[in-house]
Structure 1
Amino acid sequence: MQTALDLTVMLPQSAYDYGERSSGEAHGVVLTKPHVVSLILDLAGYTEDRDLASLSLLEPACGHGAFLVPAAERLIASARRHGRDARDIESAIRSYDVARDHVDRARLAVAGALARLGLPLDDARRLSEAWVAHGDFLLTGQGRRFDAVVGNPPYIRIEQLSPELQEEYRQRYSSLYDRADLYVAFIERGLDLLAPGGVLSFICADRWTLNRYGAPLRRMLSRWYQVRCYIDLHSASPFESEVVAYPSIFAVSRGKTGSVPVATLSTASPEECEAASSALRRAEGRAEGRAEGRAEGGAPERCPGVTVAEYPSWFDGDDPWVLSSPEHLEALRSLEARFSPIEEVGGTRVGIGVATGSDRIFIVRGDVDIERDRLVPLVMRDDIEDGRIRDAGRFVINTFGDDGKVVRLDAYPRLAAYLRAHEAEIRKRYIAQKSAASWFRTIDRVHPELASAPKLLIPDIAGSNEVVHEEGRFHPHHNLYFITSEGWDLEALGGLLSSRVALFFVWSYAVKMRGGYLRFQAQYLRRIRLPAPESVAEDVKRDLRSAFRRRDFEGLDALALRAYDIDALPRFSFLDTRR
C-alpha cells in the first residue's frame, strides 16, 4: 500500500484545476467571480457580523485564493469588530491544494490582502502559511471539524487519474460511483467534516444532481443532510472565463431537508448575486419560522434578475433533482404515478449502438478485402437527416462469433491480414492492453441480429427528440440509441416518442448542453413513461403512425395528449430542430 504522500505525487500538477479535460491536458485555473464568492460565503453563514474567530472555515482546493482572500477580509473585519487579535485567528481558516504553485500563489494573495488591511507583514505571512497547506485534501487526515466549508472543487473525471490513485479514492469515498467526477468526493469529504450547525456551500458542475454517477451522493444527502438552498446558474456566467461545465451553487448542513428555496440567476451579475443572497436568507427565515410555528409559507418570490421558487418537499433517496419549477415537478410526478417506465411496457428495450475503440480501423467500406460474413451494415448519426436514413455504404467489422466469443483469426485469413496491418494502432487501445489475447476485438460486441431487427433510432445529442424508424437493415453506431418493442407497433411508438410528452420526460432529467441541445442517453430515455399499448385507442395508434410518417409534430403532440389522457403540459423550452 502506497502512502498518501506517494499517491499525491502521482497527480498531475494541475489535476485540481476547474475544467473538463478532453485530451489529457488540463485547462488553467478558472476563477470564480468575486461577487459569486461573496454569495457563497453568505450562504455558508461566514459573515463579518459573526465572531468568525470562534469559527473554522475550510477551503479544500484553494487554487489562486479566489475564496481565501475575501474570507480572510471578512475574518479581519469580524476580528476588529469583536476585539480579537492575530493570535485568535491563526486556526480560523484551513485550505489545501495539491499543486505547489497554487499554494504559493494563494499564500502570496492572502498575505497581500492582510497587509493591505493593516496587519504587520510578519503576521500576514505567518497567517497565510498557517492557513494554506500543500497536500491532497482527499487523502489528508483532519483532527477537527469546520463551521463553513466553501469553494469550487476540482472538476476532473476519476478515470483520468492514475489507477493507483483511483483505487485509493474509491476505497475511501463511497460516492465515487461509475465514471464520477472528482468533485463528488470533495462534496462527500466536506460534508463529513461539518461541525454541528456547520454549512457546506459549493459552486460546481451540476451533473451529479441528475446523472447516474451522482446517485450515491444524492442518497447520502437525502438520508443525513439538509439542503438549505440551491441556485441554478445554467444561463449565468459565474467564472472569470468560459468553461464547459454547467454550474450550480448549493448550501447543505446536517439535518433533515424540509422546504427548499431554489433560485435561478440569469447572469450572476453583482446585483443578481446580492439579490439572491437576500432572497434566499429571507426564504430560509420563513422556513425556520414555519418549523417553529411562527409563520406561514409564502408564494414564489421575484427579485431583480433573480427568480426564487420554494419547493415544499425535496427528493427522496437517489432520485434525480428535477429543478425547473414546482409546477413542472408536480406534472412530472403525476405522469410518473400513472404510467410505467418504457422498459416495463410492451416488451420494449432501450440500448446503445456499438463502440469500436477505433472507428478509423473498424468501420470500413464495402470494397474492403475482408470476409463478407465479418461485415455488418452500419448506420451513424451523420446518415440521418429529416427523419430518413441514407445508406452511406459503411460496415462495422464483427470480431465476435455467434457464441459471443472472439473469433479465431486463423479461420479468417483476410480479416487477419487486415487487422495485423493495423495491429500497432489497435493494441494502443485500453481494451487491447487489458486483454492481450483478444487484442483485435471491438469494445462492444457486434450483434448481426440487431441489424436485421426493426427498431427506432435516436441520436445522442440533439435539439429535440429526433426519432427515426429503421426497418431492419443496419446496426447502429454508438452515437445512436435504439429502441425495440414486442408489444408496440414501432411507428405508433415512434410517434409517441417524437411528441412533446416524451420530450418532457427526457428534458426533465437530461443534461442540458450549450445552445439548447440535450443528451438523449439511455439513462434518460429509460425515464420516459408509456401507456400500455392496449390502453391506447386503435384510431389514436393509427393516427400516430400516419403523423409519424409525415413528420407532423404538431399532430403528434395532440395525439400524445390523448394517449396519456392529459389536457396540457407545463411550458418548457427546448431547441426544436425537428421542424
Structure 2
Amino acid sequence: MDACSVLKKAYCSINKNHAFFREKFNNSYYLGIEENEIEFLNSISENEAGVLSASDKMLSYSVAVMYTAALILQEMAKRKKIEYSKEQTACLLDGFYLIQIAEHPFSDKTVEELEEILLGLLTDGIELKARKKTGSERTPNEIVKYMLDLIQYDKTTARNSSIIDPACGTGTFTNQITKRFIESLNTECEVESVKDALINKKQIKAYDTRPSNVYVTKVGMIFQLMEAGLIVNMNEILEFMNNLPVYCDDFLKSKDKADFIVGNPPYIRLQNISKEDRKFIKENFVSATGRFDIYTCFLEKSDGMLNKNGKMCLITSNKYLTTNYGVGIRKYFSKNHHVKKVVDLFDTKFFGAAVLPAITMCQNNTEDVETQYVGIKTSQMKPDCSLNGADELFDFIENNAGNGKSYVQYKNNTIFEIARSKVVVPSDGKTWNFSSREENTVKDKMDAKRNCMLGEIVDVSVGIKTTADKVFVQPMTKEFVLENNFETQVIYPLIQSFNVDKWKISWGTQKKDRYILYPHKENQDGMKAIPLDEIPNAGAYLEKHDNVLKRREYLLNVTSRKWYECWVPQKLSKFKQKKLVTRDIVSSNSFALDEEGRLCQGNTFFLTKKECKFSQAYADLSEHQYFCFLLGILNSRAMEYYQKMISGCLYAKKYRYTTSNLNRWPIPKIDVGIALEISKYVEKIIREESCRKELEKKIDRAVYNAFQFTDDEILKIEEAI
C-alpha cells in the first residue's frame, strides 16, 4: 500500500474515534490552527470529520502521520528479525490500537522506499497552502550533504561532537546527521556506547514545535540505528523512542550550546506569528527588525549557541541580505564577523520553496573578518564545462576558490553563472550585495561623483494597497462604473504594474485596465474615509461586500479606521502632481512619466518632486522638461547597473525597486544645457518609438560622462547588465 493511502485510511479511522485520540495526543500546538491550514484535508475526510474543528482535524492528521511512522518502524523490526511480544507491540503502537487498517501495509517496500516515506511524511503529504503558515519545506539531500560538508561534520568529527537541528521537520537533516554519526563509530562499537552518546550525552539534538515531526524524526534516527545493526531488540527500540533528545519545543527559547548547528528553519512572516511569540522575539532578538521573518532569529540564535570555534550552517531565504527587515541580522553579523561563507542560490530552483534560498555558514571565531561569497544564478552565457547533478555542482564550487565567474551547463538544460568573491561585509546594516572588487569600484565611483541622492530630490511613495482588490479594483471597468452610477469623487483611473512601460504609461487601451473605487478624501490631517451617506451608490456597493471587507481584522483593530477603507491610502494631492512611476518588481529600469494625475496601485512606486537646491539649479526648465530630464537619468544603463549592485536578484532575473533602494541612487551633476538635451531626447522617445535605441544611447552617454567613467568602466557596466 502506498503511504498516502495509509495516511488517508488512518486519518479517517481516527476521526471516527476522535474523542479518544484527542485525550491521548492533545497538545497546545493544535490550538491556533485555522481553517485555511487544513483545506488539504477536505478531500480525504469522511462525514465524521465534517463536525470537527480545524484544530481537531490537524490533530487527527498528525496522529495519522505518527501512526504511519510507527508502522514503518514495525516493518523494519520485522525485516531485522527483531522479536517482540504483544506487550512490546502495544508499547510501540501505544494509543494507535483503535486505528483500523490493513496489517503490514509496507511489506512491499524497499528499505530506501521506507526511508523516503519517513522523510516525506510532512512535506509530501501536505499541500503548499498548508505549509505556508508553518514555513515548512523539505531540503533536498544533496543540499543537506553539502551543508554538513561545509561545517565539516563527518566521520572524523561526529563521534565526539555535539550537533543541533533547530527545526527538524520529519528529519531530513537529522537523518543525514545520524548516518554520519554511525560512520564515525568503530566496528566494535556496542549499543551501550551509542546510548551513552545519544541519550546520556545528547550529542544529536533536534527541535520542532509540531508533535508529529518530533515523533517521525525519532523514528528516522532509530531506523538508521536498526539498519546499521546497532539496535537489535524491541526494548532498545522503546528506550531510544522514549529518550532521544528530539524536543517538542521552540528552539528560539532553548539554552543549549553545541559544536555544530545545521538545518532549514521555518519561513514565517511577522503577520503569521502570534502576539505572545512576537513580544518574546522583539524582546530577545536584535535581528527582529521591521516586518521581520522568523528565520532571521534562527540565524541569530544559532550563531549565539555555538561553542568556541563551533560552526553553524542554515539554509534560509536570501532576502535578509538586501531587505529592510534584514537590517537587524546584518548589523549583528557585521559586528561579530562570524559569517565565513554565503552561497546564494538565487533562481536555481533546487527545491520547491517559494523563496530564493541562501546557505549561510558561520564560525564562532573572529580570526578572519572576510566572508567568502558564492552566487549561483541562471545565465545565457556560453558554458565552460558540464555538470551532471547537484553533487558535482557543489564539488565544483568548493574546488574552484578565489574571485571571478564561471559558467557551467547543469544537467544538459540550464546554464549557471557561478560568481565568487571574498569581502568584508558592510557595517551599519547596509545591504550585502557581494559584488566583485571591480564591480564595487564602479559603484563606489558613482557614489563619489554624485551631486546628491535621489531621495533628496524626490519623494518616493508606494501605491495604494487596498488588501481587497476584488472589491476595490478588479470589477472596476468603465462599463461597471457607469452601470452602478458610482459617485465621481471616489472613482479614479488606476495605474497597475502592467500599465508601466519604460518611458510611458499605457492606460485606456487594454481590456484589463481598471479604475479604483477610492472612498477617501483629503483634509489637513491626511486621508479620511468618506462617510457612506455622502456616497450612497458606492456605499451600497461596499455594504454589499461587507463580508469581505470586515474580514480584514488588522483594519478593524485600529479604532480610527473604517471597515470599508483601503489599507494603505495615499494623498490625492500627491497623485495629482506630475510623477514618475516604476513597477516594484521588474528585470530592468522601467520608469514612466504620468502627467494625468492617475492613482497608482500598491505594486508600483511613484516619485514626486521636492523643492530643493537640485531642482532650483534647473529652474530654467519647465516642470515637464525637468521630469523628462529625471526620467532620462533613471532609465539610463548606469542607474540600472547601480540598482542591480544594491538589490537582490529575484526569480527570472527580476529586481525589487523599493523606497530604501531608490532613495540611495546617486544623481550626478549635469549642466543645464545637457539636462535640456536629455529632456528633448526623452520627449522624442515618448512620441516616436522608431528612434528609441539611438536616443537611449545618447542619454546613456550623457550620464556616463557625468560620472566621468572611462571606456573600461563603461564596458564593465554594459557587460554586467
**Which of the five TM-score ranges fits, normalised by the shorter chain?**
0.7 to 0.9
Instruction: Determine the structure 2 residue equivalent to 1:291.
Output: none
Write the letter of the residue equivalent to 2:658: Q
Which of 459, 474, 482 does residue 598 from structure 2 map onto?
474
Q: Could you tell me whether the CA contact under 8 Å between 2:501 and 2:590 is conserved in 1? A: no
Which of 172, 176, 182 does residue 288 from structure 2 map onto?
176
Q: Could you tell me whether the CA contact under 8 Å between 2:166 and 2:208 is conserved in 1? A: yes
Give the secondary-structure state (helix, strand or coil) at the position aligned to 2:359. strand
Which of 519, 522, 532 does residue 656 from structure 2 map onto?
519
Q: How does 1:408-427 map to 2 (within 5 A)?
A: 408-427=531-550
Instruction: Determine the structure 2 residue equivalent to 1:49.
Output: 156
Query: What do you get for the CA RMSD once the two structures are aligned?
Result: 3.4
Q: How does 1:12-411 map to 2 (within 5 A)?
A: 30-50=137-157, 52-80=158-186, 85-90=193-198, 91-121=202-232, 123=236, 126-127=239-240, 130-142=243-255, 144-239=256-351, 242-256=352-366, 257-265=368-376, 269-278=390-399, 307=418, 309-339=420-450, 342-345=453-456, 347-363=457-473, 364=476, 365=478, 366-367=481-482, 368-385=484-501, 387-391=504-508, 392=513, 394-403=515-524, 404=526, 405-411=528-534
Between 1:464-473 and 1:190-199, the stretch displaced more is 464-473
- Bigger helix fraction: 2
Q: TM-score, normalised by structure 1?
A: 0.84
Deviations 1:268-322 (A, max 9, x none): 611122333455xxx6xxxxxxxxxxxxxx6659798784633243222311110
- Give the C-alpha shift of residue 61 in structure 1: 0.8
- Give the C-alpha shift of residue 47 in structure 1: 2.1
Query: Which structure's CA Rg is the greater one?
Result: 2
Q: TM-score, normalised by structure 2?
A: 0.69
Judged with a 3 Å threshold, the aligned counterparts in structure 2 of structure 1 residues 80 and 333 are, in CA distance, closer, same or farther, namely farther
Judged with a 3 Å threshold, the aligned counterparts in structure 2 of structure 1 residues 26 and 427 are, in CA distance, closer, same or farther, namely closer
- Give the C-alpha shift of residue 493 in structure 1: 0.9
Distance 1:184 1:273 in 2: 25
Judged with a 3 Å threshold, the aligned counterparts in structure 2 of structure 1 residues 215 and 573 are, in CA distance, closer, same or farther, namely farther
Judged with a 3 Å threshold, the aligned counterparts in structure 2 of structure 1 residues 222 and 390 are, in CA distance, closer, same or farther, namely same
Q: Could you tell me whether the CA contact under 8 Å between 1:63 and 1:102 is conserved in 2? A: yes
Distance 2:153 2:188 in 1: 15
Q: Could you tell me whether the CA contact under 8 Å between 2:460 and 2:608 is conserved in 1? A: yes
2:552 is the counterpart of 1:429: yes
- Give the C-alpha shift of residue 455 in structure 1: 0.8
Judged with a 3 Å threshold, the aligned counterparts in structure 2 of structure 1 residues 73 and 56 are, in CA distance, closer, same or farther, namely same
2:32 is the counterpart of 1:10: yes
Runs (5+) with no aligned partner, structure 1: 284-297
State the percentage of identical aligned residues: 20
Runs (5+) with no aligned partner, structure 2: 1-26, 38-57, 63-121, 378-386, 410-416, 619-625
Judged with a 3 Å threshold, the aligned counterparts in structure 2 of structure 1 residues 104 and 395 are, in CA distance, closer, same or farther, namely closer
Instruction: Determine the structure 1 residue equivalent to 2:94.
Output: none
Judged with a 3 Å threshold, the aligned counterparts in structure 2 of structure 1 residues 140 and 350 are, in CA distance, closer, same or farther, namely closer
Judged with a 3 Å threshold, the aligned counterparts in structure 2 of structure 1 residues 560 and 275 are, in CA distance, closer, same or farther, namely same
Judged with a 3 Å threshold, the aligned counterparts in structure 2 of structure 1 residues 301 and 495 are, in CA distance, closer, same or farther, namely closer
Q: Could you tell me whether the CA contact under 8 Å between 1:342 and 1:348 is conserved in 2? A: no
Which of 439, 442, 445 does residue 566 from structure 2 map onto?
442
Q: Could you tell me whether the CA contact under 8 Å between 1:199 and 1:253 is conserved in 2? A: yes
- Give the C-alpha shift of residue 418 in structure 1: 3.6
- Give the C-alpha shift of residue 202 in structure 1: 1.0
Between 1:298-307 and 1:212-221, the stretch displaced more is 298-307
Give the secondary-structure state (helix, strand or coil) at the position aligned to 1:198. strand
Judged with a 3 Å threshold, the aligned counterparts in structure 2 of structure 1 residues 536 and 355 are, in CA distance, closer, same or farther, namely farther
- Give the C-alpha shift of residue 526 in structure 1: 2.4
Write the letter of the residue equivalent to 2:395: E
Distance 1:88 1:278 in 2: 38
- Give the C-alpha shift of residue 452 in structure 1: 2.1
Q: Could you tell me whether the CA contact under 8 Å between 1:106 and 1:132 is conserved in 2? A: no
Distance 2:463 2:390 in 1: 43
Count of matched residue pairs: 548
Deviations 1:2-38 (A, max 9, x none): xxx8578536779x97999768855895332223212
Deviations 1:63-107 (A, max 9, x none): 122211221122222232897931442211100112222222222
Distance 1:533 1:554 in 2: 17
Write the letter of the residue equivalent to 1:422: H
Q: Could you tell me whether the CA contact under 8 Å between 2:167 and 2:207 is conserved in 1? A: yes
Distance 2:421 2:585 in 1: 32
